[in-house]
A and B are shown apart, each in its own frame.
Chain A
Amino acid sequence: MTYRLTDEHLELRAVVRELAEERIAPRAAEIDAKAEFPWDLKELLAKQDLLGTAFPTAYGGTELDGIGQAIVVEEIARADATTSLIPIVQKLASLPILLAGNEEQKARYLPRLASGDWLIAFGLSEASAGSDVAAMRTRARRDGDDYLLNGSKRFITHGSIANVVIIFALTDVAAGGRKGSSAFIVETDTPGFSAPRTEHKMGIRGSPTAELNLDEVRVPASNRLGEEGEGFRIAMATLDRSRVSIAAQAVGIAQGATDFALGYAAQRDQFGKPVAQLQGIQFMLADMASQTEAARQLTYAAAAAVDAGAPDLAYLTSSAKLVAGDTAMRVTTDAVQVLGGYGFISEYPVERMMRDAKITQLYEGTQQIQRLVIARQLLQRAGVRRSAPR
């Protein structure tokens, strides 16, 4: 996949970096310590049009290309991973509407989401249906012009603060999740919808990860996305595209840790000189920088593949997420090492970055699921038949 960074991309990076350094980075430690959603920063990002980058201009978005969207996420994540999830999830959960919504659904929901007036969440995972998405149990029973939704969802980012959630539910229990699920746009003020609990987490602590309960939630049939039975396909098409955002987030976290470690090493004197003069530290910094750069370039290639609608885009998006997530974990761990004991305490941001990095290896498909997606493409190219999923 070929791509090129334009002057507009560079300008975008400079502008978002300035905003992130001046307004987001100073809040990051507090957001983490208090585990509170940064409403002020959500307003700031909305005001600067940074929540609408994935939305068409016709619906009030700014319709950046994939690389532009990745740059925005990357620069925010470089300052604070929690805050970067605001544009990430806004895109993730809007993708089902963008990909499968009809004109009426788009006109009703996309403008409010592009402006950031409304937040949206993606309700796919369940307590017993994580990587095995098809094991979902939430049901949607047809009732006249409506559906009645029952069940529960778990690990839903922004689930407790969103105005609207995309809920995946079985419309044909016998057919199972793969063939018998459908996607619904559910407004969270609908009776029977609740978010009884949020998780206590290791990282991205300011981002509420909610359990959702659906008890006879009445959703008009006009809020079903696509046809009955298309839920799984919509979910997979969404994740194949949204994973680039997680790769970009991971790159941003890694870059933030690299930059901080470099600055620290240049200042910290041991044995009569800055530790940055020690070759052992230099090797670590060089590895951190070059690995982050490699992950970034793969992420941009994946973003360009999504824009181009490449038939094997999942191969690149999964590769980008796999490489970037592992890079973020390794680089942040090394950043803590460069800071020594100071890296381990909350006075410095790298321990937070290390905790935040871990989630990029887990959500929107674990690293193991990414490998399965990549392998599936490899085998397909080689003409090897796969055993059918159970």
Chain B
Amino acid sequence: MKIVVCIKQVPATTADKRYTSDLRLDRAAAESVINPLDEYAIEQALRLRESGAVESVGYLSMGPEGAAEALRRALAMGGDDAWLVTDQGLAGSDAWATARVLATALDRLAPDVALMGMASDDARGSLVPGAVAALRGLPLLSYGSELTVKGETARIRRLTATGFDIVEAPLPVVASVTDQVGEPRYASLKGIMAARRKPMETWSLADLGLNADELHGAALTRVIEARKPEAKPPTERIENVSPDEAATRIADRLAAWKLI
């Protein structure tokens, strides 16, 4: 039983994000991390491996060469091997192009479960898991708060507004999990050192039998504008006054807004 976790390297949540002239995120300018939501997928996969339910955990990422760092960090948390799909022709891929590349790579790796986080922290499209499942013609088990595999089936527990659903499908499947699976572990020092010796393979588009023109021709979305959120009006602070005075001023302000 093999799980391949698809991970994406994203700018750190706290990083100052900048855009290139053609409205793409400037990934070189910001500190990069494993997409935090993917860390839950990694944690879920490693827990299944520790419980003996799966034999191997691999990682797959599509991104610039620097994304190897994210794969190395994932390997430091645990797992066995990693693949990076990197190619100049991939720059600016939309969710659809990404899904096609991942689907092609996953066809080659043929895991029992292709596991993903529920969304990426930078794009938040939540489209890729579904698109990969559709392209590969496999069942999709999405938004799992827990994933289990047994015999020939995979099963997720999915929280709903009124309770939870149990969704089951025959292997192989594509699955995505939420932050409910449990806190991701920190890489231990021995894990970090071991990760340097774990195998990582790099594939170009040609290695996967894909070509850039075809992928971009197939792009379904285009970014037409990127801008910062509008600045809020300056915050009014009530400082260095007595509590009575502060309370009076707050009440006056709320009254002026006709809120009280």
Tell me whether B187 is interfacial, beta carbon within 8 Å: yes
Query: Given the complex of chains A and B, what is the CA–CA distance between A12 and B190 in angstroms?
Result: 11
A62 touches B186 (CB 8 A): no
CB within 8 A of A19: which of B186, B190, B196, B237? B186
B186 touches A12 (CB 8 A): no
Chain A residue total in the interface (Cβ 8 A): 16
Give per-residue flags for B168-199: 1 if the beta carbon is below 8 A from chain A beta carbons, else 0: 00000000000000000011111111001000
Within residues 169 to 194 of chain A, which ones have a CB less than 8 A from any CB in chain B? none
Which residues in B have their C-beta under 8 angstroms from that of A19? 186
CB within 8 A of B187: which of A15, A53, A62, A64? A15
Query: Given the complex of chains A and B, what is the CA–CA distance between A382 and B17 in angstroms?
Result: 57
Within residues 192 to 214 of chain B, which ones have a CB less than 8 A from any CB in chain A? 192-193, 196
- Chain A residue nearest to B193 in the complex (CB): A62
B193 touches A15 (CB 8 A): no
Within residues 286 to 339 of chain A, which ones have a CB less than 8 A from any CB in chain B? none
Query: Given the complex of chains A and B, what is the CA–CA distance between A23 and B185 in angstroms?
Result: 12
B192 touches A47 (CB 8 A): no
A11 touches B188 (CB 8 A): no
Which residues in B have their C-beta under 8 angstroms from that of A102? none
- Chain B residue nearest to A22 in the complex (CB): B186
Query: Given the complex of chains A and B, what is the CA–CA distance between A309 and B189 in angstroms?
Result: 25
CB within 8 A of B188: which of A18, A23, A49, A64? A49
Chain B residue total in the interface (Cβ 8 A): 11
A11 touches B189 (CB 8 A): no
CB within 8 A of A11: which of B190, B192, B237? B192
Give per-residue flags for A361-375: 1 if the beta carbon is below 8 A from chain B beta carbons, else 0: 000000000000000
Which residues in A have their C-beta under 8 angstroms from that of B189? 12, 15, 48-50, 52-53, 62, 64
B186 touches A18 (CB 8 A): yes
CB within 8 A of A47: which of B76, B188, B196, B237? B188
- Chain A residue nearest to B76 in the complex (CB): A15
Which residues in B have their C-beta under 8 angstroms from that of A269? 237
Which residues in A have their C-beta under 8 angstroms from that of B193? 62
Query: Given the complex of chains A and B, what is the CA–CA distance between A48 and B193 in angstroms?
Result: 12
Taking the nearest CB of chain A, how far is it from the CB of B230, in angstroms? 21
CB within 8 A of B192: which of A15, A23, A52? A15
**Which of B186, B189, B190 has the most chain A CB atoms inside 10 A of its CB?**
B189
- Chain B residue nearest to A47 in the complex (CB): B188
- Chain B residue nearest to A60 in the complex (CB): B190
- Chain B residue nearest to A68 in the complex (CB): B189
- Chain A residue nearest to B237 in the complex (CB): A269
Query: Given the complex of chains A and B, what is the CA–CA distance between A12 and B188 in angstroms?
Result: 10
Within residues 26 to 65 of chain B, which ones have a CB less than 8 A from any CB in chain A? none
Query: Given the complex of chains A and B, what is the CA–CA distance between A53 and B76 in angstroms?
Result: 17
- Chain B residue nearest to A62 in the complex (CB): B189
- Chain A residue nearest to B195 in the complex (CB): A11
A15 touches B186 (CB 8 A): yes
Which residues in A have their C-beta under 8 angstroms from that of B76? 15
Taking the nearest CB of chain A, how far is it from the CB of B190, in angstroms? 5
Query: Given the complex of chains A and B, what is the CA–CA distance between A15 and B190 in angstroms?
Result: 12
- Chain A residue nearest to B190 in the complex (CB): A49
- Chain B residue nearest to A64 in the complex (CB): B189
Which residues in B have their C-beta under 8 angstroms from that of A50? 189
Which residues in B have their C-beta under 8 angstroms from that of A8? 196
Query: Given the complex of chains A and B, what is the CA–CA distance between A18 and B13 in angstroms?
Result: 13
Which residues in A have their C-beta under 8 angstroms from that of B237? 269
Which residues in B have their C-beta under 8 angstroms from that of A52? 189
Query: Given the complex of chains A and B, what is the CA–CA distance between A50 and B190 in angstroms?
Result: 9
Query: Given the complex of chains A and B, what is the CA–CA distance between A15 and B34 in angstroms?
Result: 13
Query: Given the complex of chains A and B, what is the CA–CA distance between A298 and B100 in angstroms?
Result: 52
Query: Given the complex of chains A and B, what is the CA–CA distance between A15 and B72 in angstroms?
Result: 12
Query: Given the complex of chains A and B, what is the CA–CA distance between A367 and B237 in angstroms?
Result: 46
Query: Given the complex of chains A and B, what is the CA–CA distance between A52 and B237 in angstroms?
Result: 50
Which residues in A have their C-beta under 8 angstroms from that of B186? 15, 18-19, 23, 48
Which residues in B have their C-beta under 8 angstroms from that of A15? 76, 186-187, 189, 192
Within residues 2 to 53 of chain A, which ones have a CB less than 8 A from any CB in chain B? 8, 11-12, 15, 18-19, 23, 47-50, 52-53
Taking the nearest CB of chain B, how far is it from the CB of A113, in angstroms? 15
8 contacts between A and B (CB under 8 A): A15-B186, A15-B189, A48-B187, A49-B188, A49-B190, A49-B191, A53-B189, A62-B189
9 new A-B pairs (CB below 8 Å) besides A12-B192, A49-B188, A62-B190?
A11-B192, A15-B187, A15-B192, A23-B186, A47-B188, A48-B187, A50-B189, A62-B189, A62-B193
Q: 8 smallest A-B Cβ distances: which pairs?
A: A49-B189, A49-B190, A48-B188, A49-B188, A62-B189, A19-B186, A15-B187, A48-B186
Residues of B within 8 A of A (CB): 76, 186-193, 196, 237
Residues of A within 8 A of B (CB): 8, 11-12, 15, 18-19, 23, 47-50, 52-53, 62, 64, 269
